[in-house]
């Protein structure tokens, strides 16, 4: 360790001095725990791992202890489940002022086996049906039984700092952080198998408060960065006051996810200047268990999506909102014990360049519409997936069940050739108070009979400064008995064969302007 790292007063506890050999084939767990406990008893300091290999099960952290893993040092998660009395490698509960840092590596040694699916997952059931229809076997990856736990599991800890390390091959969520406060994660590299790493999320703040995540690279099989408000280790707490900056995320599931497991609230979140690559789903807002998701800003993002294997959530879709009750997907849920439908409100997505192979969906619930959702300066490129057995793209972006919806300066582009079922660029339905300003779009190249934009059952809408892209057939189609109060102004229809189409069910006088 560089001498500049330590002040003259700081105490250093080298795990080698407590009996760790630095050889992978020798269990270092007793020596490491003794070093941690001695450090804590002395009032705090640094537990130091010099270069070497250290195999261990659960390490119980203590308050005021900094764990420093030197460059050239690797901590290996034991393959013996008996070495874990908790479901975590680094474990802490009700602690304060703790750090896990350095330039070394934490290796969970996760391994996987491929076999026919033997679990019921209602959330990927549509994929399963398509695979069965295509006559393809339902083979998927599962962790081996000797692959155990999280690499970091912290419960109700305060003033936590995790920095600069590499966390690789985690058997489960790499970091599960429950009800922690003043949490800083910076400069870490997290990697699990994009092909096999089921349940191996990257970072999962769960009911945490005052969180900063910066300068991280996360490549995970399951969700890369996901926010929870669950009751895993006590009553569900709000996950709030969060900033994420300068990160790159990749995932065979969702790169950035506001999780379905939200029992209380996720709010006050700013995510800026991040890159999403090679992900099955880019950005996911999912709310299945009541709860509230509010006050979120996502800005300055690039998103690139592709489809992964059938057993992952997602469809190669850059943007996905889904507000439902869990019983609408899972028939085993007891509806009499379900909470009311949750709420998603006050979300701004701004300055985003996205490309994906699947359809984007922004779906509110009929009993709880999305509120005050805005997309500004968004360019969505729809790519074709020529060989997938899971084609789903019909409309590039569908938005339904919302109030006070604003889309400004958007462009939707189809790469050619488009998928066989591709049709409209934008479908908006069951929305009240819509502003559609500065959209450039056309229908799919092979969907000439479909309008570029469909507004169905829209009450109170302003459509202005929009432009029909070259090759447009019908640009705007208005439909639905509840469509009323639509104002059209300053739109450029020159490239459209037919600027406007109004369904017979739309009452006369409900559309103003050219």
Look at residue 3 in the predicted model and tell me its pLDDT.
42
Look at residue 391 in the predicted model and tell me its pLDDT.
65
Mean of the pLDDT values across residues 394-419?
Answer: 95
| Digit-coded pLDDT (tens) for 175-194 | 999 999 999 999 999 999 99
Residue found under tokens 């250093």:
12
Mean of the pLDDT values across residues 231-239?
Answer: 97
Mean of the pLDDT values across residues 60-88?
Answer: 98
Give the pairing of strands 248-251 and 112-116. Answer: unpaired
Look at residue 134 in the predicted model and tell me its pLDDT.
86
Mean of the pLDDT values across residues 218-231?
Answer: 97
Predicted TM-score (pTM) of this structure: 0.95
Q: How confident is the model at residue 496 (pLDDT cuts 50, 70, 90)?
A: very high
Residue 11 has pLDDT above 70, yes or no: yes
Residue 105's alpha-carbon distances to 71, 75, 101, 236, 341, in angstroms, are 8, 6, 10, 32, 43
* CB within 8 Å of 5: residues ≥ 6 apart: 68
Which range has the worst mean pLDDT, 10-14, 193-197, 386-390?
386-390
Query: Of 346, 358, 350, 355, which is closest to residue 377 (Cα–Cα)?
Result: 350
Residue 2 has pLDDT above 80, yes or no: no
All structural domains of the chain: 7-111+146-172 (2.160.20.10)
Mean of the pLDDT values across residues 61-71?
Answer: 98
Q: How confident is the model at residue 390 (pLDDT cuts 50, 70, 90)?
A: low
Q: How confident is the model at residue 8 (pLDDT cuts 50, 70, 90)?
A: very low
pLDDT, mean over the chain: 95
Give the pairing of strands 467-468 and 397-414. Answer: unpaired
Residue 389 has pLDDT above 80, yes or no: no
Give the pairing of strands 317-323 and 181-186. Answer: unpaired
Q: How confident is the model at residue 384 (pLDDT cuts 50, 70, 90)?
A: confident
* CB within 8 Å of 119: residues ≥ 6 apart: none
Look at residue 299 in the predicted model and tell me its pLDDT.
98
Residue 24 has pLDDT above 60, yes or no: yes
Look at residue 181 in the predicted model and tell me its pLDDT.
98
Look at residue 386 in the predicted model and tell me its pLDDT.
67
Give the pairing of strands 112-116 and 139-143. Answer: antiparallel
| Digit-coded pLDDT (tens) for 420-464 | 889 999 999 999 999 999 999 999 998 778 999 999 999 999 999
User: 440 and 452 in contact (C-beta within 8 Å)?
Assistant: no
Residue 119 has pLDDT above 70, yes or no: yes
| Digit-coded pLDDT (tens) for 349-360 | 999 999 999 899
CA angle 107, 202, 328 (to 5 degrees): 135
Residue 1 has pLDDT above 70, yes or no: no
Residue 220 has pLDDT above 90, yes or no: yes
Mean of the pLDDT values across residues 114-123?
Answer: 89
Residue 147 has pLDDT above 90, yes or no: yes
Mean of the pLDDT values across residues 302-327?
Answer: 94
């Amino acid at each position: 360790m560089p001498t500049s790292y330590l002040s003259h007063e700081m105490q250093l506890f080298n795990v080698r001095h407590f009996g760790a050999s630095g050889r992978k084939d020798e269990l270092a767990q007793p020596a490491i725990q003794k070093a941690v406990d001695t450090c804590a008893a002395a009032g705090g300091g640094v537990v130091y791992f010099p270069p070497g290999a250290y195999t261990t099960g659960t390490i119980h952290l203590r308050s005021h202890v900094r764990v420093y893993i030197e460059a050239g040092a690797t901590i290996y998660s034991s393959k013996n489940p008996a070495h874990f009395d908790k479901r975590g490698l680094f474990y802490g509960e009700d602690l304060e002022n703790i750090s896990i840092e350095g330039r070394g590596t934490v290796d969970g040694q996760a391994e996987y086996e491929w076999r026919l699916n033997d679990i019921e997952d209602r959330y990927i059931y549509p994929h399963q049906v398509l695979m069965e229809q295509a006559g393809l076997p339902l083979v998927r990856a599962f962790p081996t039984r000797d692959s155990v736990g999280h690499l970091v599991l912290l419960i109700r800890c305060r003033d936590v700092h995790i920095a600069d390390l590499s966390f690789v091959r985690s058997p489960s969520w790499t970091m599960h952080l429950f009800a922690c406060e003043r949490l800083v994660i910076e400069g870490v590299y997290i990697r699990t198998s994009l092909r096999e790493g089921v349940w191996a999320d990257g970072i999962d703040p769960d009911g945490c408060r005052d969180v900063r995540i910066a300068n991280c690279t996360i490549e995970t099989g399951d969700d890369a960065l996901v926010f929870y408000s669950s009751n895993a280790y006590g009553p569900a707490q709000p996950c709030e006051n969060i900033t994420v900056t300068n990160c790159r995320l990749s995932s065979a599931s969702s790169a950035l996810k506001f999780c379905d497991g939200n029992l209380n609230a996720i709010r006050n979140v700013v995510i800026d200047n991040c890159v999403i690559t090679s992900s099955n789903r880019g950005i996911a807002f999912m709310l299945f268990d009541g709860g509230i998701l509010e006050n979120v800003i996502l800005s300055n993002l690039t998103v690139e999506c592709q489809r992964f294997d059938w057993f992952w959530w997602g469809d190669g879709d850059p943007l996905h909102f889904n507000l439902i009750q869990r019983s609408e997907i899972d028939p085993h849920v007891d509806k009499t014990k379900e909470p009311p439908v949750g709420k998603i409100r006050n979300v701004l997505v701004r300055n985003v360049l996205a490309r994906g192979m699947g359809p984007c969906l922004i779906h509110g619930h009929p009993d709880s519409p999305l509120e005050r959702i805005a997309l500004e300066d968004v360019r969505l490129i729809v790519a074709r997936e020529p060989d997938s057995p899971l084609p789903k793209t019909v409309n590039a972006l569908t938005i339904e069940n919302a109030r006070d919806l604003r889309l400004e300066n958007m462009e939707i582009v189809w790469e050619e050739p488009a998928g066989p079922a591709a049709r409209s660029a934008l479908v908006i339905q069951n929305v009240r108070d819509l502003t559609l300003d500065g959209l450039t779009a056309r229908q799919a190249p092979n969907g000439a009979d479909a309008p570029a934009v469909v507004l169905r059952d829209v009450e109170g809408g302003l459509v202005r400064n929009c432009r029909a892209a070259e090759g447009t057939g019908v640009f705007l189609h208005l439909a639905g008995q509840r469509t009323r109060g639509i104002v059209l102004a300053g739109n450029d229809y020159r490239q459209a064969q037919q600027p406007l189409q109004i369904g017979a069910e739309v009452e006369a006088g409900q559309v103003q302007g050219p």
